[in-house]
Amino acid sequence: MAVSLKVNIGGLEMQNPVTTCSGTFGFGPEYAPFMDLNRLGAITVKGTTLEPRPGNAPPRLVETPAGILNSVGLENPGVDSLITTTMPYLRNFQVPVIVNIAGNSLEDYQELAARLEGVPGISALEVNISCPNVKKGGMAFGTDPCAAQDVISGVKKNTSLPVIAKLSPNVTDIVAMAQAAQAGGADALSLINTLLGMAIDIEQRKPILANIMGGLSGPAVKPVAVRMIWQVSQAVSLPIIGMGGITNWQDAVEMILAGATGVAVGTVNFINPRAAIEIIQGIEGYLEQHGYQDVNEIVGLAWKRQQG
Protein backbone atom coordinates (compact mmCIF):
# COMPACT_ATOMS: atom_id res chain seq x y z
CA MET A 1 0.00 0.00 0.00
CA ALA A 2 1.39 3.35 -1.06
CA VAL A 3 2.06 5.80 1.73
CA SER A 4 0.21 9.11 1.81
CA LEU A 5 2.33 12.25 1.66
CA LYS A 6 -0.62 14.66 1.68
CA VAL A 7 -0.57 17.46 4.25
CA ASN A 8 -2.76 20.41 5.12
CA ILE A 9 -0.93 23.59 6.07
CA GLY A 10 -3.55 25.81 7.64
CA GLY A 11 -6.02 25.21 4.85
CA LEU A 12 -3.44 24.80 2.11
CA GLU A 13 -3.72 21.30 0.66
CA MET A 14 -0.40 19.87 -0.58
CA GLN A 15 0.17 16.54 -2.31
CA ASN A 16 3.40 16.16 -0.36
CA PRO A 17 5.06 18.18 2.42
CA VAL A 18 7.86 19.72 0.33
CA THR A 19 7.89 23.30 -0.94
CA THR A 20 10.66 25.72 -1.83
CA CYS A 21 12.09 28.52 0.27
CA SER A 22 11.32 32.01 -0.92
CA GLY A 23 14.40 33.64 -2.38
CA THR A 24 16.07 30.41 -3.43
CA PHE A 25 13.81 29.26 -6.26
CA GLY A 26 13.17 32.43 -8.25
CA PHE A 27 9.57 32.55 -9.43
CA GLY A 28 9.53 28.95 -10.68
CA PRO A 29 10.53 29.11 -14.37
CA GLU A 30 14.21 29.20 -13.42
CA TYR A 31 13.98 25.61 -12.14
CA ALA A 32 11.56 24.17 -14.71
CA PRO A 33 14.45 22.87 -16.90
CA PHE A 34 15.66 20.73 -14.00
CA MET A 35 12.45 19.20 -12.65
CA ASP A 36 8.74 18.69 -13.18
CA LEU A 37 7.32 21.49 -11.04
CA ASN A 38 4.08 19.51 -10.74
CA ARG A 39 5.83 17.10 -8.38
CA LEU A 40 6.35 19.72 -5.67
CA GLY A 41 3.97 20.07 -2.76
CA ALA A 42 3.91 23.80 -3.43
CA ILE A 43 6.04 26.51 -5.01
CA THR A 44 6.93 29.44 -2.78
CA VAL A 45 7.99 32.32 -4.99
CA LYS A 46 10.51 35.05 -4.33
CA GLY A 47 9.61 37.84 -1.93
CA THR A 48 7.26 40.33 -3.56
CA THR A 49 6.84 44.00 -2.70
CA LEU A 50 4.45 46.69 -3.89
CA GLU A 51 7.04 48.37 -6.10
CA PRO A 52 10.01 46.85 -7.96
CA ARG A 53 13.20 46.73 -5.90
CA PRO A 54 16.77 46.61 -7.23
CA GLY A 55 18.04 45.00 -4.03
CA ASN A 56 21.24 45.86 -2.22
CA ALA A 57 24.54 46.81 -3.84
CA PRO A 58 27.06 44.00 -4.49
CA PRO A 59 28.84 42.08 -3.17
CA ARG A 60 25.81 40.47 -1.58
CA LEU A 61 26.74 36.80 -1.36
CA VAL A 62 29.53 35.18 0.65
CA GLU A 63 30.16 31.47 0.90
CA THR A 64 30.82 30.23 4.43
CA PRO A 65 32.17 26.85 5.60
CA ALA A 66 28.62 25.50 6.04
CA GLY A 67 26.32 27.77 4.07
CA ILE A 68 26.12 31.27 2.64
CA LEU A 69 25.62 34.81 3.81
CA ASN A 70 23.33 36.85 1.60
CA SER A 71 22.25 40.46 1.58
CA VAL A 72 20.18 40.43 -1.63
CA GLY A 73 17.68 42.82 -0.11
CA LEU A 74 14.42 41.58 -1.62
CA GLU A 75 15.27 42.32 -5.25
CA ASN A 76 12.06 41.69 -7.18
CA PRO A 77 10.00 43.14 -10.06
CA GLY A 78 7.03 44.12 -7.88
CA VAL A 79 3.51 42.86 -7.41
CA ASP A 80 2.23 44.01 -10.81
CA SER A 81 4.80 41.84 -12.57
CA LEU A 82 3.89 38.90 -10.34
CA ILE A 83 0.22 39.25 -11.30
CA THR A 84 0.72 39.85 -15.03
CA THR A 85 3.79 37.71 -15.80
CA THR A 86 4.55 35.14 -13.10
CA MET A 87 1.09 33.89 -12.27
CA PRO A 88 -0.02 33.26 -15.88
CA TYR A 89 3.06 31.06 -16.26
CA LEU A 90 2.55 29.20 -12.96
CA ARG A 91 -1.10 28.54 -13.75
CA ASN A 92 0.17 26.04 -16.34
CA PHE A 93 1.12 23.74 -13.45
CA GLN A 94 -1.06 21.76 -11.08
CA VAL A 95 0.77 22.87 -7.97
CA PRO A 96 -0.22 25.37 -5.25
CA VAL A 97 1.60 28.70 -5.30
CA ILE A 98 2.56 30.47 -2.08
CA VAL A 99 3.37 34.14 -2.55
CA ASN A 100 5.86 35.61 -0.09
CA ILE A 101 5.01 39.26 0.61
CA ALA A 102 7.20 41.93 2.22
CA GLY A 103 6.69 45.60 2.98
CA ASN A 104 8.12 48.68 4.67
CA SER A 105 4.99 49.34 6.68
CA LEU A 106 1.80 47.74 7.94
CA GLU A 107 -0.05 49.49 5.14
CA ASP A 108 2.26 47.90 2.54
CA TYR A 109 1.40 44.41 3.77
CA GLN A 110 -2.29 45.19 3.83
CA GLU A 111 -2.25 46.60 0.30
CA LEU A 112 -0.27 43.62 -1.02
CA ALA A 113 -2.81 41.23 0.47
CA ALA A 114 -5.64 43.21 -1.12
CA ARG A 115 -3.93 43.34 -4.52
CA LEU A 116 -3.38 39.57 -4.52
CA GLU A 117 -6.90 38.70 -3.39
CA GLY A 118 -8.69 36.82 -6.14
CA VAL A 119 -5.65 36.43 -8.42
CA PRO A 120 -6.12 32.96 -9.94
CA GLY A 121 -3.52 30.38 -8.99
CA ILE A 122 -2.43 31.84 -5.67
CA SER A 123 -3.10 29.39 -2.84
CA ALA A 124 -1.57 31.09 0.21
CA LEU A 125 0.38 34.13 1.39
CA GLU A 126 3.61 33.84 3.32
CA VAL A 127 4.13 37.07 5.27
CA ASN A 128 7.82 37.90 5.47
CA ILE A 129 8.33 39.68 8.78
CA SER A 130 11.83 38.32 9.13
CA CYS A 131 14.11 39.50 6.30
CA PRO A 132 17.37 40.78 7.89
CA ASN A 133 18.56 42.54 4.72
CA VAL A 134 16.28 45.56 4.43
CA LYS A 135 16.46 48.81 6.36
CA LYS A 136 12.68 49.15 6.78
CA GLY A 137 10.09 46.54 7.66
CA GLY A 138 11.22 42.91 7.52
CA MET A 139 12.90 41.82 10.72
CA ALA A 140 11.77 45.00 12.52
CA PHE A 141 8.28 43.48 12.55
CA GLY A 142 9.53 39.99 13.25
CA THR A 143 11.36 40.82 16.47
CA ASP A 144 8.51 42.70 18.15
CA PRO A 145 5.53 40.50 19.14
CA CYS A 146 3.06 43.40 19.06
CA ALA A 147 4.21 44.55 15.60
CA ALA A 148 4.12 40.98 14.30
CA GLN A 149 0.59 40.50 15.56
CA ASP A 150 -0.51 43.78 13.95
CA VAL A 151 0.96 42.84 10.56
CA ILE A 152 -0.61 39.39 10.51
CA SER A 153 -3.95 40.79 11.68
CA GLY A 154 -3.81 43.47 8.99
CA VAL A 155 -3.08 40.94 6.26
CA LYS A 156 -5.86 38.64 7.45
CA LYS A 157 -8.39 41.45 7.11
CA ASN A 158 -7.55 41.82 3.43
CA THR A 159 -7.36 38.24 2.24
CA SER A 160 -9.35 35.03 2.19
CA LEU A 161 -6.18 32.97 1.59
CA PRO A 162 -4.34 30.99 4.25
CA VAL A 163 -1.77 33.29 5.89
CA ILE A 164 1.62 31.86 6.84
CA ALA A 165 3.80 33.98 9.14
CA LYS A 166 7.51 33.61 8.37
CA LEU A 167 9.36 34.15 11.62
CA SER A 168 12.89 35.32 12.36
CA PRO A 169 15.29 33.27 14.46
CA ASN A 170 16.97 36.50 15.56
CA VAL A 171 14.92 36.73 18.73
CA THR A 172 15.32 35.69 22.35
CA ASP A 173 11.95 33.97 22.60
CA ILE A 174 10.69 32.35 19.40
CA VAL A 175 7.65 30.94 21.21
CA ALA A 176 6.46 34.46 22.08
CA MET A 177 6.74 35.45 18.42
CA ALA A 178 4.80 32.37 17.32
CA GLN A 179 2.08 33.05 19.87
CA ALA A 180 1.84 36.65 18.65
CA ALA A 181 1.42 35.46 15.07
CA GLN A 182 -1.26 33.03 16.20
CA ALA A 183 -3.04 35.80 18.09
CA GLY A 184 -2.96 37.89 14.91
CA GLY A 185 -4.83 35.15 13.10
CA ALA A 186 -2.04 33.32 11.26
CA ASP A 187 -3.06 29.98 9.80
CA ALA A 188 0.46 28.54 9.80
CA LEU A 189 4.09 29.41 10.52
CA SER A 190 7.33 29.22 8.56
CA LEU A 191 10.43 28.54 10.69
CA ILE A 192 13.12 29.80 10.25
CA ASN A 193 14.40 32.68 8.15
CA THR A 194 18.13 33.40 8.09
CA LEU A 195 20.34 34.23 11.06
CA LEU A 196 22.02 37.64 11.02
CA GLY A 197 25.76 37.36 10.41
CA MET A 198 28.75 38.99 8.74
CA ALA A 199 32.17 38.25 7.29
CA ILE A 200 35.33 40.36 7.06
CA ASP A 201 37.97 40.30 4.30
CA ILE A 202 41.18 40.15 6.33
CA GLU A 203 43.33 41.44 3.45
CA GLN A 204 41.08 44.40 2.70
CA ARG A 205 40.30 44.73 6.41
CA LYS A 206 36.65 45.55 5.79
CA PRO A 207 33.29 43.73 5.65
CA ILE A 208 32.83 41.61 2.51
CA LEU A 209 29.15 42.38 2.04
CA ALA A 210 28.38 45.90 0.85
CA ASN A 211 25.45 45.80 3.26
CA ILE A 212 27.95 44.81 5.99
CA MET A 213 25.60 42.18 7.48
CA GLY A 214 23.56 39.47 5.85
CA GLY A 215 21.45 36.41 6.49
CA LEU A 216 23.19 33.10 7.16
CA SER A 217 21.55 30.05 5.61
CA GLY A 218 22.55 26.50 4.80
CA PRO A 219 23.54 23.50 6.95
CA ALA A 220 25.03 25.68 9.70
CA VAL A 221 21.58 26.92 10.77
CA LYS A 222 19.75 23.58 10.76
CA PRO A 223 20.21 22.77 14.46
CA VAL A 224 18.76 26.18 15.31
CA ALA A 225 15.77 25.51 13.07
CA VAL A 226 15.16 22.06 14.56
CA ARG A 227 15.30 23.50 18.07
CA MET A 228 12.83 26.28 17.27
CA ILE A 229 10.40 23.93 15.52
CA TRP A 230 10.59 21.63 18.54
CA GLN A 231 9.79 24.49 20.92
CA VAL A 232 7.08 26.18 18.86
CA SER A 233 5.22 23.05 17.81
CA GLN A 234 4.60 22.24 21.47
CA ALA A 235 3.45 25.76 22.32
CA VAL A 236 1.02 26.69 19.51
CA SER A 237 -1.58 24.76 17.55
CA LEU A 238 -0.56 26.09 14.13
CA PRO A 239 1.03 23.83 11.51
CA ILE A 240 4.66 24.65 10.76
CA ILE A 241 6.67 24.67 7.55
CA GLY A 242 10.19 23.82 8.69
CA MET A 243 13.15 25.32 6.86
CA GLY A 244 16.73 26.29 7.43
CA GLY A 245 19.62 24.14 6.26
CA ILE A 246 17.75 21.21 4.73
CA THR A 247 20.13 19.55 2.27
CA ASN A 248 18.71 16.02 2.02
CA TRP A 249 15.69 13.90 2.94
CA GLN A 250 17.20 12.99 6.32
CA ASP A 251 17.21 16.68 7.28
CA ALA A 252 13.59 16.98 6.18
CA VAL A 253 12.51 13.95 8.22
CA GLU A 254 14.33 15.41 11.25
CA MET A 255 12.31 18.62 10.99
CA ILE A 256 9.05 16.69 10.63
CA LEU A 257 9.89 14.61 13.69
CA ALA A 258 10.59 17.89 15.53
CA GLY A 259 7.08 19.11 14.73
CA ALA A 260 6.98 20.47 11.18
CA THR A 261 4.02 19.45 9.02
CA GLY A 262 5.73 20.68 5.87
CA VAL A 263 9.31 21.48 4.91
CA ALA A 264 10.88 24.04 2.57
CA VAL A 265 14.07 23.47 0.61
CA GLY A 266 16.30 26.54 0.27
CA THR A 267 20.01 27.11 -0.11
CA VAL A 268 20.66 23.59 -1.39
CA ASN A 269 18.75 24.57 -4.56
CA PHE A 270 21.81 26.56 -5.60
CA ILE A 271 24.02 23.48 -5.72
CA ASN A 272 21.47 20.77 -6.50
CA PRO A 273 18.42 22.06 -8.42
CA ARG A 274 16.74 18.65 -8.10
CA ALA A 275 17.10 18.53 -4.33
CA ALA A 276 13.39 19.04 -3.62
CA ILE A 277 12.40 16.07 -5.78
CA GLU A 278 15.03 13.86 -4.18
CA ILE A 279 13.77 14.88 -0.74
CA ILE A 280 10.18 13.98 -1.62
CA GLN A 281 11.37 10.53 -2.73
CA GLY A 282 13.47 10.14 0.39
CA ILE A 283 10.63 10.97 2.77
CA GLU A 284 8.41 8.44 1.01
CA GLY A 285 11.13 5.79 1.26
CA TYR A 286 11.64 6.49 4.96
CA LEU A 287 7.93 6.05 5.68
CA GLU A 288 7.83 2.78 3.74
CA GLN A 289 10.96 1.48 5.46
CA HIS A 290 9.57 2.17 8.92
CA GLY A 291 6.02 1.00 8.30
CA TYR A 292 4.17 4.32 8.34
CA GLN A 293 1.24 4.83 5.98
CA ASP A 294 0.86 8.58 6.32
CA VAL A 295 3.48 11.31 6.73
CA ASN A 296 1.25 13.00 9.31
CA GLU A 297 1.90 10.06 11.64
CA ILE A 298 5.45 11.26 12.26
CA VAL A 299 4.81 14.99 12.73
CA GLY A 300 6.28 15.89 16.13
CA LEU A 301 6.83 12.23 16.91
CA ALA A 302 10.19 12.92 18.59
CA TRP A 303 8.66 15.05 21.36
CA LYS A 304 5.40 13.12 21.49
CA ARG A 305 7.36 9.98 22.32
CA GLN A 306 9.23 11.82 25.05
CA GLN A 307 5.94 12.84 26.59
CA GLY A 308 4.77 9.24 26.50
Q: Which residues are part of a known binding site for substrate?
A: 46, 70-74, 128, 193-194
131 catalytic, yes or no? yes
Kindly name the residue from 42, 79, 127, 131 that is annotated as catalytic. 131
Residue 164 contacts by C-beta under 8 Å, 6 or more apart in sequence? Answer: 9, 10, 12, 98, 124, 125, 126, 127, 186, 187, 188, 189, 190, 241
Binding residues for FMN are 22, 46-47, 100, 128, 166, 192, 218, 244-245, 266-267
98 SS3 class: strand
Residue type, 230: W
Determine the Cα angle at 208 with ends 206 and 214, to 5°: 120
249 SS3 class: helix
Binding residues are 22, 46-47, 70-74, 100, 128, 166, 192-194, 218, 244-245, 266-267
Q: How would you class 42 by CB atoms within 10 Å of its CB: exposed for 0-12, middle for 13-18, buried for 19 or more?
A: buried
Instruction: For residues 63 and 113, give the distance between their C-alpha atoms in angstroms, rounded to a whole number.
Output: 34
Q: Rounded to the nearest 10 degrees, how much is the dihedral formed by the CA atoms of 189, 190, 196, 197?
A: 150
- Residue 76 DSSP symbol: B
Catalytic residue positions?
131
